[in-house]
Structure 1
C-alpha cells in the first residue's frame, strides 16, 4: 500500500535524514545535532513511508530513572495531518512506560496544546522554566 507508514523504536537514523526532516516543514536544522544527542536518549520512534523516507519522529530523553522527556516531535511537511505525530507519540509513551519510567514530560508552544492535551492525552501541570539565553 502506497500510504503505508512503518513505525519503529530505535530505528537507525542518519544526521542527514534528520536535517532533511526538519527542513521539510520549514524548521531550522543544525547539522550534527542528531549525532550529538542520540546517545543521551532512552530511544526514539521513527515513521517511514513505503520508500523508506523518514516522515515522522519523536525523541525520548531521560534521566536514567523515573523521568522521561518527549522532545522534537516532527512530521514531514508533506505528511502532516495524517495522524503520524499522534502515533509516534503514542508509541513513545508505551516505550517509556515499558522502560519503567513513572513520568513523561513535554513542553510545547501554546499553539500545540490541543495536539498534546487532546490528541495525545497529556495533562496540564505547573512547571518552572528559566530561559538561559535571555539577557540577565
Structure 2
C-alpha cells in the first residue's frame, strides 16, 4: 500500500482542486477553491509520495460551536484505500481542537455507510430548503 501524507491547512491550488474533482467524473468550477478557502476553519489534504493531491475535506464553521464537513473527495484511482476516512478523522480532531462542539455533515444516501460506519457520525433529523429549483 502506498504511503500518504495527511496535513491540516496544507497549501492547495485551485488547479489541484479542479484536477481532484475531475478525477472522479466531477465538473470543476474554476476559481471555486480560491473563493471559498477564506471561509474555512481549515481543510485536510492527503498527498501521495509524488505530492499529488489524492484526498481532501473542507471544514467550514460558524465561528463558534458548529463546524461543517464539505466536499470530501478522494481521487478516483485511490478510492477504497481509507484515504477519505483518514481525512475526515483528522478534520474531526482539528475541529475539536478549535473548540467546536458539533461537526455536521450532509450527504447522499449511498454514502451513509461511509459517514455512519467508517467515520462515526450519527443520524440526526435536519431540515433543508432548496434555494435554486433549477436542475435536479
TM-score under structure 1 length normalisation: 0.97
Q: Deviation per CA, 1:2-29: give whole Å up to 9, x if none.
A: 7110000000000000000000000111
* 1:3 match: 2
Alignment of 1:59-98 (within 5 A): 59-98=58-97
* 1:130 match: 129
* 2:106 match: 107
Classify the secondary structure of the residue corresponding to 2:68.
strand
Measure, in 1, the Cα distance between the counterparts of 2:49 and 2:133: 43
Q: Deviation per CA, 1:45-81: give whole Å up to 9, x if none.
A: 0000000000000000000000000000000000000
Classify the secondary structure of the residue corresponding to 1:108.
coil
Q: Where does structure 1 differ by over 2 angstroms across 4 or more consecutive aligned residues?
A: none
Gaps in structure 2 of 5+ consecutive residues: none
Aligned residue pair count:
134
Measure, in 2, the Cα distance between the counterparts of 1:110 and 1:132: 20
Select between 18-27 and 126-135 the one with higher mean Cα deviation. 126-135
Measure, in 2, the Cα distance between the counterparts of 1:107 and 1:134: 19
Aligned CA RMSD, in angstroms, stands at 0.9
* 2:40 match: 41
Gaps in structure 1 of 5+ consecutive residues: none
* 2:55 match: 56
